[in-house]
Structure 1
């Protein structure tokens, strides 16, 4: 996974770009009718039940726009909320609050939806030893916030991007000339370039799992688009030689059954690519 410094850098880049995109040459609506010295206060109002996420991120956005703004927090990230709850108050320059409003809401609505969906998946897996993972199927430019939301919802992050973990999928394997060659070439490349990255290899059937197991140094096998019986057989074949991950067309109705096959992880792109934003608003008080 990425380092804390990389994580913070991604957050800073996201905030700067989001404010640049929204503010441009100026918030003329506010500049036109609100005095520069006007002070105000607003509340973050929950309008839909779920898991709140993005409170800490909102503070970073407010601080970026105007370090003088003050935030009084009532509900922390990861907390179950209901319609009518007030998450925080923000006070300070009225113009600064308005400059921040849309970026804060866009971020928190998306993050809260992801945290809520992730938490629902976590609850489905309760009592098993299987953990839920996100994927790289994220919104361009917003990945760091979406993966943060998965963590807030109780899930775990898969690799952040292409540079922090090796994942040899079907196209890599086919282009490389087969599973064994792909693994060997990858290990040689990592050694030559002094890179310490974990290797995950995708298997499309039980025969491919048997071939993967002939190579040393594989951290996890991705059991992709298997049915229940073949997943159980795959887990039995792999044993404790490496970690196991199920993926591919797994949803709320099937997730528990895959977990009961004994896999360590289930990865789901739906955590980040198939959510509807939670309804939140920032209201002047």
Structure 2
């Protein structure tokens, strides 16, 4: 069996007796996230950490967020293996924080799209969302999310909620899309069927307003939460503050946020 050779063993052979100190610096403003995972990776490589900022720390261009030392091979490996634990979740945290700030505490920001990420990075994505101040779950306690496919299988919102009526310990979150019935009919059935969160997942402000109106007419506005989703852009949040909505579920614009730009520099050799 052939074992791949790490060329760094040969490259650094003559200088492996030396110790190298390196800094990771941010190249843009944002929020730091993923430091725990970066520290664990550095520890596994045998590096010594001298300085590290905490997750959630606001940073500006030029700020040093991590300083560590090790032998030359360790430092080279760290550049390949450690930066990603910080760059991506920090970018997500920055986007989540922007959304939360724009919501001004009037609407809860949720990003449940982390559940659709590959298993190996789910924890990083979710951590970024939560570090930015967004929620990773639409309901904090036990709940059942009844999406469009449940409604399609059962044939209606009413039938879907009837199927889970016996699960009394779970809050019911149901997706309203107006595919099978008019969305106001779905909203009425959702309220009558005991749903706790009505997720208007069409991206249509007209649908959102219509659902709000029917819920108010039923005298049920204080009993349920209204959520809104469907390609929501962070820049549109100020406009959405004018609508009757409790929760915004923002996926792509948070999950696919650009990386926090980082650089790693060797700063001392001894």
For the pair 1:234 / 2:211, whether they are aligned, the reply is: yes
Instruction: Specify the alignment match of 1:206 in structure 2.
Output: 184
Distance 1:206 1:253 in 2: 28
For the pair 1:133 / 2:106, whether they are aligned, the reply is: no
Deviation at 1:174, TM superposition (A): 1.0
Relative to the length of structure 2, the TM-score reads 0.81
Choose from 220, 233, 253 the match for 2:197: 220
Instruction: Specify the alignment match of 1:183 in structure 2.
Output: 161
Alignment deviations for residues 21-69 of structure 1 (CA, whole Å, 9 cap, x no partner): xxxx667132112245543221111112222221222112222333xx3
Deviation at 1:229, TM superposition (A): 4.9
For the aligned residues, what is the CA RMSD? 2.6
Gaps of 5+ in 2: 178-182
CA contact (8 A) 2:27 2:60 kept: yes
Deviation at 1:268, TM superposition (A): 0.7
CA contact (8 A) 2:228 2:245 kept: yes
Distance 1:183 1:92, change over 3 A: same
Deviation at 1:227, TM superposition (A): 3.7
Distance 2:92 2:99 in 1: 11
Instruction: Specify the alignment match of 2:25 in structure 1.
Output: 45
CA contact (8 A) 2:109 2:248 kept: yes
Distance 2:9 2:265 in 1: 19
Greater radius of gyration (CA): 2
Choose from 48, 61, 69 the match for 2:41: 61
CA contact (8 A) 2:198 2:227 kept: yes
Deviation at 1:165, TM superposition (A): 4.5
CA contact (8 A) 1:77 1:152 kept: yes
Choose from 246, 265, 269 the match for 1:264: 246
Gaps of 5+ in 1: 1-24
Deviation at 1:197, TM superposition (A): 4.2
How many residues get paired? 249
CA contact (8 A) 2:31 2:90 kept: yes
